[in-house]
Structure 1
Amino acid sequence: MKLQLNAISRAITYAIASTASVGMISTTAYAEEEGAKKEKIEKIAVVGSRAAPRSVGDSPVPVDIIGGDELSKAGGDDMLELLKGSVPSLNVHQNPISDAASLVRPANLRGLPADSTLILLNGKRRHRSSVIAFLGGGINDGAQGPDISVIPSIALKQVEVLRDGAAAQYGSDAIAGVINFVLKDASEGGSFSVKQGQYFEGDGDTTTFEGNIGLPFTDDGFANLSFQYKNADATSRSVQRPDAAAFTAAGLEGVRNPAQVWGAPEIKDDISLFGNVGLDLSNDSQFYMFGNYSERDVKGGFYYRNPTTRPGVYGGTIRLVNGVPTRRHATDADQQALWDAATPTVLVGSNDGYDQQLDCPVVEIQSNGLPDPDALASLAANNCFAFNEILPAGFTPFFGGNITDTSFTIGTKGEIRDGFMKGAYYDLSGSVGRNESRYFITNTVNASLGAETPMDFSPGKYIQLEKNFNADISKGYDFGLAYDVNVAGGLEWHEETFEVIAGDEASFIAGPLTEQGFGIGSNGFPGFKPSAAGEFTRRNYAAYIDVETPFTEEFLMGWALRFEDYDSFGSTTNFKITGQFQATDDLSFRGSISTGFRAPTVGQANVSNVQTNLSSGVLVDSALLPPTNPVSQILGGSELQPEESESYTFGAVYQSGDLFMTIDYYNIQVEDRISQSNKIDLSLEQKAALKADGVPNVDSIAQVSFFTNDFDTTTQGVDLVANYSMDLLGGYSTFAFAYNWNETEVDRFSAITGDFKVQRLEKDLPQHRATLTWTQQWEDFTGFVRYNYFGEYQGVHVDYDATAIMADPSVTFDAELTYFATENISLTVGANNIFDQEPEKLDFERATGIPNNNWGGKYYETSPYGINGGFYYVKATYTF
């Protein structure tokens, strides 16, 4: 598709104004090689600067620019997976059995959590997801970042990744860096494609339809529209749990195989619509508008509920001690020994509301692991009840949600032609973004309702709503230096609202069997109570100034200062200094030093939730409470404060002929990092104090966690990027190498964070990652082969410290071949992980304290390339 000359002219004319609006823009110049059909592309970007556009090699900070065509060369359609193959310092985990983290997956740039990377769309701040990753695999516990997966690759012109701390320029969240997604802006042409893929295991069938079209918007504008529609089946990398297998062997009917699934969730009706509109109002001004509507349904599985041991449903609160049913009231060593030696019994409730110890028969667990059938049969005659009567084989809840994401941005930009600001560029814009997650959980119970419980529940909704207004201006001044000094400044106003909508009553109500030891709310994910519902809003405004001074043709420095004021915790001021020195025609040096911050999200400060958590291998209910809740304060919680960071980078750029290479060292120190606390067991004394304060349903809570500013970290690393092009094998070849070394150390923490959380922060991600891609182009064919290296990482299973080992380094390969059948039609076949490299298998001999595979997994789910194995795909594309 040809880029019109007036479009290039407009892009360059307004580049300064665009980047003054807390964003980045890029232009692309095409140079056709005589007698060849291929095009060479020189990418120009303004990243971390508000001056005129410059090439990536001339940038004073490290930048990756990934073209839209490159993003489309992968088997999957999830934007996170596409970026992971091109940016080695970006890590993305699949999160099976991780509550809402399975619905919106978090990503890690430079080893920091998902909400430490600022996401922009066409240079404008992207709103957060409403999903908070309560079970975020250690590093992302409690992270609330934007939902990147809604952005389809077909809508993108390119992606710009600023690998440098930039909070002084862009505001909160830019501690690790900035990713800017630039939408296509062509006014003609387009494409349509169909892709079908499947994992080598024969599951996870994925079908994707996507299209893009560029249309003229009068004679002076464009309207570029894109869509993607996708369905993906679930996967399973599981074996049958030993307890479930034992039940089947004992003759218990109806036990699922596997009873518990580890794999990717099912995704249905995943639709994304993106539009980008621009119109020249005059020779000096332009109107722009862009936005999206996206929606999908996601469903995955939870832990299997064992029909004899699940506390609050089947058992776990009663044991038969010397022939007498006894409740567990303490956790001291003597009581623990007595408890372990006691005979397990089924949890039985009296339908009259009296204590079951006095009025109901005791149902012992036999040697075959099943309840005594005679005692179980006698319950009805005594007006008593046990869940083994209606769900004898146990059950596995299915959890999911409907995720809806919308955004809309409108603005105008241009050049001032008159007055004292003549020659200045301005950008005025407003945007609104909304993300809603409506949860559902099926095949489960509210145990406190007894036999009257429904099996399907609607636990409620989270809604994230954000509004932004920006006014920015940029002007060059002649101070007698090598060229004009660019001075930029602007104002930003931001409002963030997090809303909790209560679930249906059955999902949270404390039923008549509550006092008899039965659990409250929909088991696995209790609904949001009306007392927890409401809107929580925060506003902030910012002012910045940014100056770029070219002292000589060879020496450039930039200076940025930003002030922000929040109506919750107060104000913060941050700075950044950048510099670049051109030592020779081929070699330059660059570096930066900056301070930054990340404001706690409104959701993190106010949300409450109940999760199912493994504690010493037993499923228990764990409550996440606001840090200012009386329960949290008893355990050390306090009002959240912003994280504060200091970072510096230095590196070099070498360009000679067709070789381009950069190397950059970075160091990021973050104080008072925000994350979920360790899950803390409540003592009897603490429960008594909470009851005295009027806190309801305390007895049903085994553990409590909350968000806290509890630890400091230092993250350092090296990024190495190299590209080389040459004529080879009768065609044209490009070789791209990228390497990242990343290391995080926790400098300060307390028992609120805990040793295992520290271990996960420091070891879960591989310290070494590398990719080597060979792209080959001929007359009618093009293809690539990519080598992916993942260094050793900590293998963790079920977020349980006894499972942790150090997994060995691994290598995977991706490959793709495209045949251009006609001028308009191309056919593609390819595969990710083409040799089906298995992730680290669970090793219970190396792990401590685990006799067998209690939870049915096959692999450590912290695998940096997932647990599903190889994936192959075919694709047909029509271009017009």
Structure 2
Amino acid sequence: MNQKSFVSRAAMIIALSSSATVYAQTDPQAASATDGAAIIVTGTRLTGMKVADSPAPIQLLGADTLQRTGSPDLMQSLAQQLPSVQAQSFGSDLQAHNLQMKLRGLSPNHTLVLVNGKRRHGTANVSVAGGPYGGSAAPDVSFILPESIERVEVLQDGAAAQYGTDAIAGVINFLQKKADHGGSINATGGEYYDQGGKTYAIGGNIGLAPFDGAYLNISAQKKHKGFSFRGDINPQSINLSNTYPEIRNLPGYPYTNRIIGDPHIDQTVVNYNAGYEFGDYEIYSFGSYGHKKAAAYENTRPPTTVVSAGGVPYYAGGFQPQERIDETDYSVTGGFRGTLGDTTFDLASTYGKDLVKVYVYHSANAQLYADTGFTPETFHNGDFFNTQWSNTLDLTHAVDIGLSEPVNIAAGLEFRHETYGIRAGDPASYYGGGAQSFFGYSPNDAGKYKRDNFSQYLDISLKPLENWLVDGAVRHEHYSDFGDTTVFKLTSRYDFSDAFALRGTVSTGFRAPTLAEGGYSGLNVGPGFIGGVLPPASSAAASLGFGGLKPEKSTNFSLGTVINPARNFTITLDAYQITIRNRIMTSTAFSGFTGNRCPAGYAGGNAAACLPFDADQYAIYNQLAVLSAVNAALGGSSTVTDWRTADAIPAYVLFADNGVDRNTEGGVSVQSFVNGVKMRTRGVDLVASYVTDLGEMGKLDLTFTGNYNANKVLGINPLPSALYSSTVNPELTRLIDASSEVELEHSTPRFRGTFNAFWTWGKFSANLRESYYSQVYTLETARSGPDAGDLIKVPVKEAFITDLELGYQIAKPIKLSIGANNLFNKYPTQRSKEFIRNAELANGERGYSTSKYPTISPFGINGGYYYARVNVTF
């Protein structure tokens, strides 16, 4: 065993033998925010509930704990600290600019994000990828600053009846600072060990008292992050460089295809939290404003991609297009709360908007150039926008009916108005084959969608006995587009003694599709193909047999225990099961010509080009419906009886007159968001903590958090009636393909454990965090070997990741820290050279450059990151 592995395994053994909990990540400088006596506001309607008495599993992270991750990105900080949270490490196309996080291996859409207890609006940048992130349009937490946060409360329990019917996996509540004095300035800089990712962030927080009884807390941050690259050489460029020597001048040659890695980001964000307290009342407001500019490399194009009528390339050495966004995100909340007798009230209104403008740089429109002799190099591809206006009234009232404590009755109302839309891009971005690397959004894609939601809830909490807490909640919601639903939650906790308690929950959930899932539209027209996403409720999708999306429904069960075996030693263990029916995700791609699907009944001159790969094994599938749907989406007829008469599909796609071999890379295919699967998630959360005073040697906090999580697809919904299901090989004609199913089940680690030791000794501090990730994997087609043509497992093997930070208080207000995330520079398992990558290299395929590491890696693909930070408090 090498030294790195020995250190990692030894640290984990120490963690398991000493015990540990994140909710008790007890920072001596912020104990009130993280110890068992901290007052929580998430998961309960009771006033003054302590975290140690919570009937549901909840974990707390204080502001200092978040800072010790070394990352200025809030999502990464949460993922490093909480094993049940996984941050997306890489996203293709637009998703690269807005990575998401998931709780308990479910969709990001299943976690409700709150700021100061109020619902945060989602991003306009919906993910159209497959697997667990497909359809995600959750809030972009990068616009919530770590400097603004007092603490984070993570409720790991279904809470649809309490907060809203989409809180299936849980709730993350960011509670902001209310201090009216003092402040801090933080500066962080870092870089990956090997290459790229140069990062700096300068942020600050200040508390002001504008007048007596008022507070104004302001936080701001300027963040920069540079490109990283984790791909390989581009054999296509090497092979073409003798014919086109200008290729050697492309940046990074022969590593010219630089799509795999982090994007370039410049982001500025301001958060505020303000209020005025007078008597028993408070007027309050909080909000955020952020602006993000980001750029991500797309696949490199060879010189032959854009050629004049005379055969002269527009780019002599090829080109490296970049997809860029210009994003503005803001939110503002105003409210009035207080006490009237024994009744508390909170009346609030929140408006949030996210606007994403999409561009392509260093590109060209090959069809426009061929037709006119002109092409832009920069394109405005279109805009996305998402808004949310929510209005809430929350009431609580205590009634004494002779029990050990008064019965707490909570009730409330919520009205929410949401919009989502797409604006068309410049005509040049979608003319013909569109802008290379990212086809623009046409007027056929553009549209605006809206919905209203009205809900009411009732929550009753009582103690039939002194040590027995029972809490029941029921919520009714009416959607203007999905009708009515009622969900409930029943929670109970019994304290047998000060050292031992049992708790459990049963609840139901109902998640209406986001407007983005229902309205997103985008077709990409290439040199010999058309592919993309159809809105599920569109007439084009209806011609395939889709009838729009249905809501998801869920059932949650949990059972847990709280153990306090000794002073300063707490253990919680909670098991859970979540079943989701009609889970929304991205469908497989349905083809109009190639692969395992083809138009039926066609016997024309090109009939052979429409046959599947192996006519003896697979039937000819009825896919004229696919051509009809695509033709309709492009503004043509919705009934195509002969593929040659598809009037809106370009002829060069239908007839492949540009030399594209339709049997290998041409044709027509579409996807849509669908109610794809019934899915079950089972798991266990272990949280333990021990705090000890070492006397002259300082203070030591030991924490351990572990999560076992198993996702299982219980069933895949059938294809719509207009699509043919093969009786020869049904696996090839599924609504959700095998790779996406495996990603749902196995792209989240079955087990993840994190041990954290935080030691303070005078002016010195040290934080050691050791994380274990079990194996994850996906499926890909073997290119060579005995299983060539079949799906094989592509794993990221188990790994120990070590993080270390050392700090020194050089003066009372100034602290310097240095640290490293992934101290030993661990990379994920490389994709098989023997069965996949050697064939790509031998064939001179561009894909070799993008296939070095599986992008599902739970600890990223960039290796180690080192940083330094200075904190000044005043």
- Residue 386 of structure 2: aligned partner: 464
Q: 1:266 to 1:180 in 2, by over 3 A?
A: same
TM-superposed deviation, 1:688: 5.7
Matched residues in 2 for 1:458 and 1:812: separation? 41
Alignment pair present for 1:107 and 2:16: no
Q: Kindly report which structure 2 residues correspond to 1:7-86, keeping only aligned pairs within 5 A, or say none.
A: 42-86=37-81
| Aligned positions, number | 760
The equivalent position to 1:499 in structure 2, one of 421, 425, 429, is 421
SS of structure 2 residue aligned to 1:462: strand
SS of structure 1 residue aligned to 2:181: coil
Q: Kindly report which structure 2 residues correspond to 1:396-475, keeping only aligned pairs within 5 A, or say none.
A: 396-416=320-340, 422-449=341-368, 450=370, 451-475=373-397
Alignment pair present for 1:582 and 2:495: yes
Q: Kindly report which structure 2 residues correspond to 1:118-197, keeping only aligned pairs within 5 A, or say none.
A: 118-135=112-129, 138-197=131-190
Matched residues in 2 for 1:55 and 1:791: separation? 34
Q: Is the 8 A contact 2:25 2:65 kept in 1?
A: no
Gaps of 5+ in 2: 1-22, 594-598, 600-623, 640-645, 654-666, 719-733, 784-789
Q: Is the 8 A contact 2:461 2:471 kept in 1?
A: yes
- Residue 12 of structure 1: aligned partner: none
- The aligned amino acid for 1:437 is V
Matched residues in 2 for 1:557 and 1:227: separation? 42
Q: 1:820 to 1:533 in 2, by over 3 A?
A: same
Is the deviation greater in 216-225 or in 801-810? 801-810
TM-superposed deviation, 1:612: 8.6
Alignment pair present for 1:731 and 2:698: yes
Alignment pair present for 1:657 and 2:567: yes
TM-superposed deviation, 1:213: 0.3
Matched residues in 2 for 1:702 and 1:471: separation? 51
- Residue 463 of structure 2: aligned partner: 550
- Residue 828 of structure 1: aligned partner: 817
Alignment pair present for 1:672 and 2:602: no
Q: 1:550 to 1:838 in 2, by over 3 A?
A: same
**Residues 535-574 of structure 1: CA deviation (Å, up to 9, x unaligned):** 2110010001000011111111100000000110111100
- The aligned amino acid for 1:693 is S
- Residue 571 of structure 1: aligned partner: 484
Matched residues in 1 for 2:763 and 2:26: separation? 24
Matched residues in 1 for 2:206 and 2:647: separation? 56
TM-superposed deviation, 1:38: 14
State TM-score, norm by structure 1: 0.82
Q: Is the 8 A contact 1:265 1:298 kept in 2?
A: no
Matched residues in 2 for 1:456 and 1:230: separation? 25
Q: Kindly report which structure 2 residues correspond to 1:523-538, keeping only aligned pairs within 5 A, or say none.
A: 523-538=436-451
- Residue 642 of structure 1: aligned partner: 551
- Residue 299 of structure 1: aligned partner: 295
Q: Is the 8 A contact 1:263 1:868 kept in 2?
A: no
State TM-score, norm by structure 2: 0.83
Alignment pair present for 1:768 and 2:784: no
Alignment pair present for 1:599 and 2:548: no
Q: 1:696 to 1:473 in 2, by over 3 A?
A: farther
- Residue 807 of structure 1: aligned partner: 796
TM-superposed deviation, 1:408: 0.2
The equivalent position to 1:260 in structure 2, one of 249, 257, 263, is 257
- Residue 864 of structure 2: aligned partner: 870
- The aligned amino acid for 1:677 is S
Q: Is the 8 A contact 1:643 1:674 kept in 2?
A: yes
- The aligned amino acid for 2:507 is S
Alignment pair present for 1:698 and 2:649: yes
The percentage of aligned residue pairs carrying the same residue is 31
Q: 1:393 to 1:523 in 2, by over 3 A?
A: same
Matched residues in 2 for 1:492 and 1:635: separation? 37
Q: 1:871 to 1:269 in 2, by over 3 A?
A: same
SS of structure 2 residue aligned to 1:856: helix
Q: 1:63 to 1:696 in 2, by over 3 A?
A: farther
- The aligned amino acid for 1:457 is F
Matched residues in 2 for 1:492 and 1:543: separation? 6
Q: Is the 8 A contact 1:428 1:470 kept in 2?
A: yes
**Residues 695-749 of structure 1: CA deviation (Å, up to 9, x unaligned):** 8633457210011112110011000011001123711000010000111111111
SS of structure 1 residue aligned to 2:848: coil
Matched residues in 1 for 2:779 and 2:360: separation? 26
Q: 1:558 to 1:55 in 2, by over 3 A?
A: same
SS of structure 2 residue aligned to 1:436: strand
Q: Is the 8 A contact 1:821 1:827 kept in 2?
A: yes
Matched residues in 1 for 2:25 and 2:178: separation? 12
Q: Is the 8 A contact 1:29 1:43 kept in 2?
A: no
TM-superposed deviation, 1:588: 0.3
TM-superposed deviation, 1:197: 0.6
Matched residues in 1 for 2:848 and 2:521: separation? 27
Matched residues in 2 for 1:31 and 1:175: separation? 34
Matched residues in 2 for 1:786 and 1:411: separation? 40
- The aligned amino acid for 1:752 is L
- Residue 742 of structure 1: aligned partner: 709
Q: Kindly report which structure 2 residues correspond to 1:242-257, keeping only aligned pairs within 5 A, or say none.
A: 242-248=235-241, 252-255=245-248, 256=250, 257=253
Matched residues in 2 for 1:301 and 1:619: separation? 23
SS of structure 1 residue aligned to 2:542: helix
Q: 1:815 to 1:621 in 2, by over 3 A?
A: farther
Q: 1:871 to 1:30 in 2, by over 3 A?
A: closer
- The aligned amino acid for 1:824 is P
Q: Is the 8 A contact 2:509 2:554 kept in 1?
A: yes
Q: Is the 8 A contact 1:267 1:296 kept in 2?
A: no
TM-superposed deviation, 1:866: 0.6
**Residues 622-680 of structure 1: CA deviation (Å, up to 9, x unaligned):** 22011123332233322111100001100000113110110000100000011111111
SS of structure 1 residue aligned to 2:44: coil
TM-superposed deviation, 1:799: 13
Q: Is the 8 A contact 2:512 2:550 kept in 1?
A: yes
Is the deviation greater in 431-440 or in 838-847? 838-847
**Residues 298-341 of structure 1: CA deviation (Å, up to 9, x unaligned):** 11111223455xxxx47xxxxxxxxxxxxxxxxxxxxxxxxxxx
Q: Is the 8 A contact 2:237 2:247 kept in 1?
A: no
Q: Is the 8 A contact 2:300 2:320 kept in 1?
A: yes
- The aligned amino acid for 2:552 is E
Q: Kindly report which structure 2 residues correspond to 1:507-518, keeping only aligned pairs within 5 A, or say none.
A: 507-510=429-432
- The aligned amino acid for 2:518 is A
SS of structure 2 residue aligned to 1:821: strand
- Residue 268 of structure 2: aligned partner: 271
SS of structure 2 residue aligned to 1:389: coil
- Residue 615 of structure 2: aligned partner: none
- Residue 782 of structure 1: aligned partner: 765
TM-superposed deviation, 1:779: 1.0
Matched residues in 2 for 1:193 and 1:621: separation? 49
- Residue 199 of structure 2: aligned partner: 206
SS of structure 2 residue aligned to 1:85: helix
Matched residues in 2 for 1:488 and 1:186: separation? 28
SS of structure 2 residue aligned to 1:697: coil
Q: Is the 8 A contact 2:25 2:34 kept in 1?
A: no
Matched residues in 1 for 2:772 and 2:524: separation? 35
Matched residues in 2 for 1:798 and 1:69: separation? 46
- Residue 817 of structure 1: aligned partner: 806
Q: Is the 8 A contact 2:25 2:701 kept in 1?
A: no
- Residue 686 of structure 1: aligned partner: 625
